Amino acid sequence: MTNIGARVAVLSLITGLAVLTIAQAQEKKLKREELPPAVEKTVAEQSQGGTIKGFSTEVEKGKTLYELELTVNGHGKDISMDKDGKIVEVEEEVAMDSLPPEVKAGLRRTAGGGTISKVESLTKGGKLVAYEAGVKNGLKHFEVQVGPNGNKLAHEE
Distance CA 9, CA 98 (A): 50
What confidence tens digit (pLDDT) does each residue in 108-152 have? 999 998 999 999 999 999 999 999 999 999 999 999 999 999 998
For residues 91 and 72, give the distance between their C-alpha atoms in angstroms, rounded to a whole number: 12
pLDDT bin (cut points 50, 70, 90) of residue 67 is: very high
Global pTM reads 0.78
